[in-house]
Amino acid sequence: MECTSFYRDTWVEVDLDCIEENVKSMISHLSKEQIVIAVVKANGYGHGDVQVARTALNAGASYLAVAFLDEALSLRRHGIQAPIIVLGASRSEDVNVAAENNVTLTVFNLEWIIQAKERLDKDKTVSFHLKLDTGMGRLGIKDEGEMLEVIKVIDESPMFHLEGIFTHFATADELDLSYFHAQFERFNQFLSLLPYQPKLIHTGNSATGLRFPEKTFNAVRLGIAMYGLTPSTEMKGLLPYELKEAFSLHSKLVHVKKLTEGEKVSYGATYTANEEEWVGTVPIGYADGWIRKHQGAEVLVEGNRCEIIGRVCMDQFVVRLPHQLPVGSRVTLIGTQGNQTIGIDEVAKRLETINYEIPCTINFRVPRIFLEKQSIIEVRNTILL
């Protein structure tokens, strides 16, 4: 079962109070008729899917979303009974697995639903949300005729239920909204052709929910903003409420030593001490998702910004210290120490990527500690599961 301890000096802390607050803030921002679908794909954007799901549901979210069926099954195995939708493409041959586990699937073309109908066991039922491609160009139906055909196939089968219809915006987080509005118009055209309105109609990711709650119909698929991150840097000044960042990454100095002038550090001996200096070894590396591109970046030790010197290795890197520090001193790679904070956005900028990618890529080797009211409520050590 779930391993509740770990034996390495590197861990992620997930502040579930932040998740709770972020969900509640979105709920207050929406109208009473709108629900929150908490998006917990990719292990809850690296935070921990089960714990985030539980917290989001307690905070008032009514539905969960994942990317593929295995992620939904993992939540079910952990006892989560709330409705779950798989947003991505499932294989039509897996329709029975979805039915057995009460998982809602996304229908994204006619051929798929015909195959699913042939493959579904006679005694099973399954719910769908219909995905329309209004300009994302990824998954979904582009053609009105095809949409109506799909609905016909679903309606003709007593085993099938069309619970929802949705689309996804490509540019909801950008300043230029022309493409967003065009997609919204296109979605409305589709809706006007429907023979009936399914229970859930949704367009919005976090960016849409934050900026245009009135344009996401009766549900918002809340991902990045639930984790306390801004959907894009352009949106920083446009937030209707404050987001609380839930994820932090920590380690400890496991070896501290003094270098003399001219001594070198790590593979390739790319770093040379200019003078006598103190350095510390930190047990996290690229195999944890702390990639080699972090060479030269800063982490926090004793409230100081300290440089990562030499190459980042598979499981370790070396940091230059302001002075001698004890083994066991906390190293914060993402988060706050004293009056210094290294947020996920700073790390993303350093790596020339988006904030979404940062917690997702800190992988299963790094245990997650879950905090509520500053107390540890659970530890998940995926490597020993």
Ligand X SMILES: *Cc1c(COP(=O)(O)O)cnc(C)c1O
User: Which residues lie closer than 8 Å to 185 by C-beta, 6 or more apart?
Assistant: none
314 is in an annotated binding site: yes
Closest CA to 12 of 265, 367, 373: 367
Cβ proximity to ligand X, 168 vs 311, nearer residue: 168
Among residues 236, 258, 264, 267, the one annotated as catalytic is 267
Backbone angles phi, psi at 345, to 5 degrees: -65, -40
Site for ligand X in 65-84 (CB under 6 A): none
Cα 143 from chain centre: 30
Among 48, 231, 280, 285, the residue binding ligand X under the rule CB under 6 A is: 231
138 is in an annotated binding site: yes
Could you tell me which stretch among 203-211, 252-260, 276-284, 337-345 binds ligand X (CB under 6 A)?
203-211
- Residue 84 and residue 66 in contact, taking contact as beta carbons nearer than 8 Å: yes
Site string for ligand X, 23-52 (x = CB under 6 A): ----------------x-x-----------
Parallel, antiparallel, or unpaired for β 35-39 and 219-222? parallel
Could you tell me which stretch among 89-97, 152-160, 217-225, 234-242 binds ligand X (CB under 6 A)?
217-225
**Amino acid at site 167:** T
Cα 367 from chain centre: 16
Q: Which residues pair with 331 in a beta bridge?
A: 251, 301
Structure tokens at 275: 């003078």
Among 47, 54, 129, 168, the residue binding ligand X under the rule CB under 6 A is: 168
224 part of the interface to ligand X, by CB under 6 A: yes
Cβ proximity to ligand X, 42 vs 369, nearer residue: 42
Catalytic-residue membership of 267: yes
- Taken in order 187, 114, 124, 91, the sign of the CA dihedral is negative
Structure tokens at 127: 């719910």
Catalytic-residue membership of 41: yes
321 part of the interface to ligand X, by CB under 6 A: no
Structure tokens at 345: 């956005």
Cβ proximity to ligand X, 222 vs 366, nearer residue: 222
Q: Name the site residues for ligand X (rule: CB under 6 A).
A: 39, 41, 87, 168, 205-207, 221-224, 231
Query: Residues annotated as binding site for substrate?
Result: 138, 314
Q: Which residues are catalytic?
A: 41, 267
